[in-house]
A and B are shown apart, each in its own frame.
Chain A
Amino acid sequence: MPFEWVQIPYALLTLFIVVNYGLVLTALIQKIGARVGRRHGIRIYQNYVDLLKNYALRTHITHGVMFYLGPVFRLTGGVGLLLFVPTIFGSEMFSNLSFAGDLILALYFVFFGSLGMALGAGESGHPYSAIGVTRGLSQVTAAELPLALAVFAVSLQYETLSITEIVAAQQGGVTNWTLFTNPLAVAAAMLSFLGSMMRPPFDVVLAPQEIPIGPPTEYHSAYLALMQTNRVIFPVAKVVIYMNLFFGGATGWGEFAVKVFCIYMVSVLVGVVFPRFRVEQSIRWFLVWAVPIGVLSIVIA
C-alpha cells in the first residue's frame, strides 16, 4: 500500500470523528454508570467543557523534561494506535496510515503511550504515581495474555497478520464473524478486554473513587488535557482493534458507532456489577479463568 499525501488529511478526519465520538461516548457511558447507581450523572457535553477548560488553564509548573513529555508520549500513543489501524473496512479514505505495519504493530504500540506516561509520572516524584504504575504494569502482564493468545489464534485461523485481510475474511454475514467462527478466542479476548478498560473490577490502577492515585496524580491543566484527549481516543482505538478482529469490522461510520458502543458496553456492564479486585486477585483471576480459554483457542486453532 503506497503512501500518498492525501492520506494525511484523511487520517486527520478520522481523528476528528473519533475524538468527537469518543467525547460523547465516554460521557454517555459515565451517565449510564451513574444511572445504575441511581445517580443523575454528568451532562452529555460535559467532556467538552472539561477538556476546553483544561486546555485553557495555564500553569507554570513542571517537574522536569520527562514529566513535560509524558502526556505527549501518552497522546502520541493513542493517536498513533488509532491511525495505524484501518477504521472503516473497504474505505481507502479511512484506512488511515495502516501501511506502516500490521496487527503486531498495533498490539505493541499500545505500550508506547503507557510507557511514556509512566516515565513522565515517575519524574513527578510522587509515590502515588509510581504505585499506580506498578499496579498497572502488574495487572497488564496477566490481562494481556489472553488477548495475545486470542490474537494468535485468530491470525492462525485467517493465516494473516494484516488487519484488513482479517476483516475481509469476516465479510458476508454475521455468522462469518470471528465471534461465531472462533468463539473461544473471542471469549478469551473479551475477558482480557475487561482488564484493559480501567473499569471495575480491574480499576485499582487508577482507583478513581478514593485518593488520587495512578500516573495522572501530578498532572494538571494542559498536561491533563492532553491525557484527557487520549482518554477519549485510546479506548475507541482499542475497541476498533477488537471490532476488526472479532466482530466483522465496520463498513461505515454508523456501523462503527454501534459496534464500538456495544463492545465498550461489555466492560461497563461487568463494571457496574462487580466490586474492585486487588492487583494480585486480578492477576490470579486472569490466569485462572481467562488464560485457559485462550490456551484452548490456540490448541484448537
Chain B
Amino acid sequence: MVSAIFILAIGLGAAFLLGLLRDTWRGLAYALTLAALAAMSWIAGSWLVALAGGLGPVEIRTAGFAPPFAIALRMGLPEAALSLLISLTGLLSAVYMRGTLMRLGRRAMAVLLIAVMALVGIVLTRDAFNLFVFLELTVIATGGLVLLSADPRALGAGFKYLVVAQVISILLLVGVIFAYHATGSLNIDDMAAANLVTLKGGAIAFFLMFVAVVAELKPFPANGWALDIYESAHPAFSAILSAALSAAALIAADKMLSIGGPEWLPVASSLGLVSFLGANILALAQDNDRRLLGYSSIGQVGLVLVVLGQRDILGASTPFIAGGLLLAHAVAKAGFYWLSGLVQGRSLMDWTALRGHPVLIFAFVTFVALLLGLPPFPGFYAKWGLVHALAADGRYLVLGLILLGSLIESGYLMRWFGYIIKRPQVDLPPLPSLSKRAVVLTAVAAGWALGWIWGEISGYPNLLLSIPLLFALGFLFIEWLPAWVKNLVAIAGLGAWFWYTFPGYDPLHLIYAAIILVGGAVILVASFDAKGRRVGFYPPAMLMYAGLSMLILAQDSFAFFAAWEYLTIGSYFLILRGKKSEPHALSYILFSLGGAFAILAGLALGAQGVLPFDVADLAKAPARLAPWIFALLAIGFMTKTAAIGLHIWLPGAHAEAETDVSPMVSGILLKAGLFGLTLLLMIMGKQSLYGIELTYVMLWIGALSALVGNLLAAFQEDAKRLLAYSSIGQMGYALFGLAMMNHLGWLMALMFVINHYIYKSMLFLSVGGVAKRTGTRDMYRMGGLITLMPLSFIAVLIGIIAVSGVPPLSGFGGRWIFYNAIMSSEYRLPMVLIFLSGPIAFLYLFRLIHTIFLGQLKDEHRKLKEAPLWLILPQMLYVAFLLGFAVVPGLALRHVDAYISEFFPAHALIWDDITITSTFGYWSPISIMVVVGCIFAVLFLWLLVLNHRAQKVKQFNIVYSAERPFRPETTHFAWNFFAPYRKALGFMTLPLVTRFWQAQTDLLHSTAQVSRRFYTGNGQTYAVHMLAFAVAVYLIWMGS
C-alpha cells in the first residue's frame, strides 16, 4: 500500500514540476495535472478499499517523530472516503475545465493541484497548526481559481473572499497559539486528551479556532462572500468548492468538535440548524441557478454540521449518517455545477434547454433525488437513521426543524424541475461537449453507486435490489422501444407480480393488491392509445406501481417508508406530464413530502431507536407517545387521501394529468393513503390526545371532506376537476367509515375502496376520451354527445348511478352498509354532514352526464367519433364488473367481512343465499336487481306497444315560447349550472384552505426577500457579518 502522504506529495510535487515546464507545453502540463490527480485518486481509492476491508486507521508520522514533535496525519475510513471524493472531484473538474486550463496554462493547473492537495491535507492532518497551513493554502488557491472564470464579477468575489478568509485565518492562528500555550501541543488528539476547554485560556482558544473553522463552512448568514463566488466562479471550480471544500471543512469542524467535547455539540447543532433553515429559505427567492445551488450547498453543509453536533446520541452511526448526507450532497452538487456549465443561460428558466435531452434530465433528477435524500440514495438511509436517533432521544425541535428545512429544500428544487419540464423552452441548447457530459454522467453513476453502497452497509435489504424497483428502473433502458411494446411489458409485469405474490395476501391486503396490480393493468390497457415512444412515461408509472406493490408487502417500517417515497416520486413525475400540471404537480409533491415527513417522524417516534422496527409493533408504543405517533401518521396518510385541509393539491393534479394517468392517480394512488390509515387504525386502535379521541376528529375530517368535496364538485365547469373534487368527497366517506372503528364502518370503507377504484377510473377514462375528441374539458362547451359517443355515455351513466348509491348498482351496497354502521356507532353529530353531502353528490353527477351527453349538440361537434377503442375497452370492462359486483358483492366482501371479524367481532353480516342480513336490516342485491329489472322491462314493453313508431326529431324541435331556437350555445343550459345553489351555500366554497397555505408560502418567500437585503455584495458588510457571526456563536455557547 502506498503511504497516504504521497497523496500530498504527488500534488505538491506535480505543482512544482509544472513550474519547471515551458509555458507552451500546455498539453504536457495538462497531462501531468491529470496524471497527478489520477494518482492521488488512486492512492485514496486503494486506501478506501483496504480500510473498508477491515484495516484499522493508520497514523502517519512525518519526520519519524511522534507528536507533538512532528506533524501527524491519520488515514481512517472517513479520511480515505473524503480524500477520494476530493481528488476525484479535482480530477473530474480538471477534465471538465480542459479548455480553460489549456488557455490559462500551467500556473492555473498548479493552483488547481495545490487546492486539491491542500484540501486532502485538511482531511488528513491531526495537527492544529498544520490545519491552519492547509487552510491558508486553500484560501490562496481558491483566490487564484476564482479568477479562472470568464465572469467579470469573479475578481470582486475573489477579493472579498480573500478579505474574509484573512479574518478567519487570523482568528484561527490566534486560537492555535493560545491552544498551544494551554496544552503544550499542537496535536489535535493531544488537545482533546488535555481537555483544552477546561484549561485556563483554553476555552477562548477553542472558541477562536472553532469560529474560524465553522466560518469555513460558510454558515448562514455569514456567507455572502461564498455565494458571490458560487455565482461567478467557473462551474467546475464551484463544484470543487461545494463538494470538496465543504467536505474538508466539515471534517475540520469535526476535528475541532473532538477537542471541544460534548459542551460544544449543541453549539454546532444550533449553527447547523440555522444554516440549514436559513439557506434553504433564502434559496427560495433565487433565480440565478448557481447562486441557488450555493445556498443549497450551505444548507446541506449545515445539515451535516447538525449531524456532527448530534454525535452524542448518534454514536457509532455518525460516520454512516454524516457520510451519507455529505457524499450525497457532494456528488449531487458537483454534478449540478458541472451540469450548469452545459447550460448556457444563468436563469433557472434557461435550464429548459435540457428538455429533449433525456440523459441530462435523468442526471438532473438523480441529483435532485440525491440532495433530497430520496430512496435509494444515501441521504435516505442517513435521514432515516438521523430522524430515528433524534426521535428516540426526544430531540423533537431539532427533528422538526430538519424536516421543515428539507421540505423547503424540496420546494425550490422540485419547482425548478417543474420549470425545466414545463416552461417555454429557451433557444440556447446545452453545450455539445462530450467530455463535459461524460463528467456529469460520472457523477450520476457515482450517485447510483453510492446508493448501492449505502444500501449494502445499511443493515437493511438493499433498496436498489428489490425486484419491483429494478423492474421500474429497467424501463429506463427500453425507452427507445415503441410505447405499445413497453405497455405490454408493463402489463405483463404487473400481472406476473400479482401472480407471484398472490399466495401471501390476507383478504384485506388482497383487495389492495388486486386494485393496484390487476386494476393497474386494466388502466394500462388505455395506455395502448398512446402513439410513438412516449418517453418518460413508463419509468415513473412503474416506479409508482413498484412503490404501491412494495407498500402492501412491507413488514418493517423501513420498507414501508421507502415504498411510500417511491410511490410519491413516481406519481409526481407522472402527474407532471400533464400539459398544464406544473403548479399542481409542485403542490402535490410538497404536500406529499410533507406528509411523508410526518409519517417518517411518526414511525421514528414509534420505533424509539429500535431498528428494524416491525410496523405491527406500533401497537406497543409507549402510552405517552402513542397519540402523537397516531396523529403524525394519520396526517401523513390523510395528505395522500386529500382530507380536507390537506386537499388543495388534488383537483389540479388529477385534472391536469394525462387521460390514462388521471385514473391511475385517482383510482389507485389514493388507496395508498387509505391503506396506510387501515393499517394504522388496525394496529393502534383508538387514541386520545388531551382527552380528545383522535378517531373522533378523523370522523369529523372525513365528514367535512365528504361535504366540501361534493359541494365543490358541483360548482366545477371542468369535467376532470369535477371528478377530482368528487374523489375528495369519496375519500372522505372512506375515511369516515374507517374512523367509525366498527365492523361495518370498515366494511363500508373497503367497499368504497373497490367501488371508487372502478367508477372513478371509468369516469376519468370516459371524460378523458370525450375531452380528447372535443378538445376541451369545459362541460358547457360540450353537450348532446350521447348519440355520437354512446359507449362513453353508457360508462358515465353506469358510473354515476354507482357513485350516487341509487339501487340497484353497487354504490347502494356501500350506502346500506353505511347506515348499518352508523347504527352501531357511538357518535351522532358527524353523521349530519354525511347526510347532507349524500344528495349533493347528485348535483355534480347529474351535471356531469347532462352537460356533456345530453342537451344540445354543438355545431363543431357534429362529426365527432366515439372515443378511441383503447379508452373504451377498459371502460366496458368496468361496466361489466360494476354490474357483476352489484349482483354478487359477496364474492369480494364476505371474505373481507370474515377477516374484519378478527378485529371487530360485533355486528358481522350474515351472508345467506341471496340475502345479506345485519343486526338491524337486510339487503338482497339479486332480488333488487330482478325486481327492478322486471318492472322496468314490463313498463318499457308497454311503452313500446303504445308508442313504437316514434321517430327521432331534429335537434331544435322543442316547445320554446313560440320561438325556434337555433344556436346550441344559447339553448344548452350548462354554464353555472347550480346558480341558485351557489347563492344559498356558496359561502361554504370560499377557498379558505388555499388561502391559508398560500399565506404560508408567501410568508416564506417574503422572509427570503427581506433576508436577501443583508447580502449587499459589499466586502465590508461581509466582514461585519463575520464579526457578528463570531459574537453570535459566543452567545450561543454562553447560552448552552
Q: Chain A interface (Cβ within 8 Å of chain B)?
A: 3, 55, 58-66, 68-69, 71-73, 75-76, 79-80, 83-84, 97, 99-105, 108-109, 111-112, 115, 118-119, 122-127, 130-131, 133-135, 137-138, 140-142, 144-145, 148-149, 152, 155-156, 159-162, 211-212, 217-218, 221-223, 225-226, 278-280, 283-284, 291, 294-295, 298-299, 301
Contact with A along B951-985 (1 / 0, CB 8 A): 11101111111000000000111100111110111
Which of A60, A135, A149 sits near B980, CB closer than 8 Å? Answer: A135
Cβ of B921 within 8 Å of any chain A Cβ, yes or no, is yes
Which of A69, A102, A125, A278 sits near B940, CB closer than 8 Å? Answer: A69
In the complex, what distance in Å separates the CA atom of A25 from the CA atom of B797? 35
Is A105 a contact partner of B946 (Cβ separation < 8 A)? no
Q: How far is the CB of A150 from chain B (nearest CB, A)?
A: 10
Contact with A along B356-369 (1 / 0, CB 8 A): 00000000000000
With both beta carbons as reference points, the residue of chain B lying nearest to A301 in the complex is identified as B828
Which of A84, A115, A145, A294 sits near B842, CB closer than 8 Å? Answer: A115
Q: Chain B interface (Cβ within 8 Å of chain A)?
A: 784, 786-787, 797, 801, 804-807, 812, 815-816, 819-820, 822-823, 828-829, 831-832, 835-836, 838-840, 842-843, 846, 849-850, 854-856, 915, 918, 920-924, 927-928, 931-932, 935-936, 939-940, 943, 946-947, 949-953, 955-961, 971-974, 977-981, 983-985
30 pairs of residues in contact across A and B, judged by CB atoms under 8 Å: A61-B951, A62-B952, A64-B952, A83-B931, A97-B927, A100-B924, A104-B815, A105-B812, A108-B812, A109-B807, A111-B806, A125-B856, A130-B850, A130-B855, A130-B977, A133-B850, A134-B980, A137-B842, A142-B984, A144-B835, A144-B838, A156-B823, A211-B961, A217-B959, A222-B946, A225-B946, A280-B981, A298-B832, A299-B829, A301-B828
Is A138 a contact partner of B843 (Cβ separation < 8 A)? yes
Is B946 a contact partner of A62 (Cβ separation < 8 A)? no
Q: How far is the CB of B962 from chain A (nearest CB, A)?
A: 11
Known pairs A68-B943, A125-B972 / 6 extra A-B pairs, C-beta < 8 Å: A101-B923, A119-B797, A119-B849, A122-B854, A125-B784, A161-B918
Is B828 a contact partner of A122 (Cβ separation < 8 A)? no
In the complex, what distance in Å separates the CA atom of A298 from the CA atom of B827? 10
With both beta carbons as reference points, the residue of chain A lying nearest to B923 in the complex is identified as A101
Q: Which 6 pairs of residues, A with B, have the shortest CB-CB distance?
A: A161-B921, A122-B854, A102-B921, A279-B980, A100-B927, A280-B984
With both beta carbons as reference points, the residue of chain A lying nearest to B982 in the complex is identified as A280
In the complex, what distance in Å separates the CA atom of A215 from the CA atom of B746? 39
Is A115 a contact partner of B832 (Cβ separation < 8 A)? no
Q: A134-B980, A149-B835 are in contact. Are A160 and B850 (CB under 8 A)?
A: no
Is B842 a contact partner of A105 (Cβ separation < 8 A)? no
Which of A62, A112, A125, A299 sits near B971, CB closer than 8 Å? Answer: A125
In the complex, what distance in Å separates the CA atom of A160 from the CA atom of B815? 16
Is A137 a contact partner of B831 (Cβ separation < 8 A)? no
With both beta carbons as reference points, the residue of chain B lying nearest to A129 in the complex is identified as B973
Q: A64-B952, A105-B807, A140-B839 are in contact. Are A79 and B935 (CB under 8 A)?
A: yes
In the complex, what distance in Å separates the CA atom of A105 from the CA atom of B939? 21
Is B981 a contact partner of A138 (Cβ separation < 8 A)? yes
Counting chain B CB atoms within 10 Å of each CB, the highest count among A3, A125, A217, A280 belongs to A125
Is B953 a contact partner of A61 (Cβ separation < 8 A)? yes
In the complex, what distance in Å separates the CA atom of A55 from the CA atom of B59? 107
Is B928 a contact partner of A127 (Cβ separation < 8 A)? no
Which of A69, A97, A122, A161 sits near B823, CB closer than 8 Å? Answer: A161
Which of B784, B829, B973 sits near A127, CB closer than 8 Å? Answer: B973
Which of A119, A131, A138, A222 sits near B854, CB closer than 8 Å? Answer: A119
Is A99 a contact partner of B927 (Cβ separation < 8 A)? yes
* Set of chain B residues within 8 Å of A123, measured between Cβ atoms: 786, 854-855
Which of A3, A105, A294 sits near B923, CB closer than 8 Å? Answer: A105
Is A134 a contact partner of B977 (Cβ separation < 8 A)? yes
Is B842 a contact partner of A226 (Cβ separation < 8 A)? no
Is B935 a contact partner of A80 (Cβ separation < 8 A)? yes
Is A298 a contact partner of B936 (Cβ separation < 8 A)? no
Is A125 a contact partner of B958 (Cβ separation < 8 A)? yes
* Set of chain A residues within 8 Å of B787, measured between Cβ atoms: 64
Which of B806, B947, B984 sits near A222, CB closer than 8 Å? Answer: B947
Q: How far is the CB of B691 from chain A (nearest CB, A)?
A: 20
In the complex, what distance in Å separates the CA atom of A4 from the CA atom of B797? 33
* Set of chain A residues within 8 Å of B832, measured between Cβ atoms: 145, 149, 291, 294-295, 298
Is A160 a contact partner of B806 (Cβ separation < 8 A)? no
Which of B801, B921, B935 sits near A162, CB closer than 8 Å? Answer: B921
Is A104 a contact partner of B846 (Cβ separation < 8 A)? no
Is B804 a contact partner of A111 (Cβ separation < 8 A)? yes
* Set of chain B residues within 8 Å of A160, measured between Cβ atoms: 920-921
Q: A72-B939, A155-B823 are in contact. Are A108 and B984 (CB under 8 A)?
A: no
Is A283 a contact partner of B850 (Cβ separation < 8 A)? no
Is B831 a contact partner of A152 (Cβ separation < 8 A)? yes
With both beta carbons as reference points, the residue of chain B lying nearest to A217 in the complex is identified as B959
Is B981 a contact partner of A279 (Cβ separation < 8 A)? yes
Q: A102-B923, A137-B842 are in contact. Are A108 and B806 (CB under 8 A)?
A: yes
* Set of chain B residues within 8 Å of A115, measured between Cβ atoms: 801, 804, 806, 842, 846
Q: How far is the CB of A76 from chain B (nearest CB, A)?
A: 5
Q: A119-B854, A123-B854, A125-B971 are in contact. Are A298 and B828 (CB under 8 A)?
A: yes
In the complex, what distance in Å separates the CA atom of A57 from the CA atom of B443? 83
Q: How far is the CB of A300 from chain B (nearest CB, A)?
A: 10
Which of A72, A108, A138, A211 sits near B805, CB closer than 8 Å? Answer: A108
Is B842 a contact partner of A141 (Cβ separation < 8 A)? yes
Is B839 a contact partner of A144 (Cβ separation < 8 A)? yes
Is B855 a contact partner of A122 (Cβ separation < 8 A)? yes
With both beta carbons as reference points, the residue of chain B lying nearest to A118 in the complex is identified as B846
Is B806 a contact partner of A283 (Cβ separation < 8 A)? no
Is B980 a contact partner of A152 (Cβ separation < 8 A)? no
Is A59 a contact partner of B947 (Cβ separation < 8 A)? yes
* Set of chain A residues within 8 Å of B816, measured between Cβ atoms: 101, 104-105
Is A66 a contact partner of B843 (Cβ separation < 8 A)? no
Which of A65, A80, A141, A156 sits near B932, CB closer than 8 Å? Answer: A80
In the complex, what distance in Å separates the CA atom of A75 from the CA atom of B940? 10
In the complex, what distance in Å separates the CA atom of A225 from the CA atom of B819? 36
In the complex, what distance in Å separates the CA atom of A100 from the CA atom of B840? 26
Which of B820, B922, B943, B961 sits near A226, CB closer than 8 Å? Answer: B943
* Set of chain B residues within 8 Å of A141, measured between Cβ atoms: 836, 839-840, 842-843, 981
In the complex, what distance in Å separates the CA atom of A217 from the CA atom of B849? 19
* Set of chain B residues within 8 Å of A66, measured between Cβ atoms: 786, 854
In the complex, what distance in Å separates the CA atom of A126 from the CA atom of B973? 8
Is A298 a contact partner of B831 (Cβ separation < 8 A)? yes
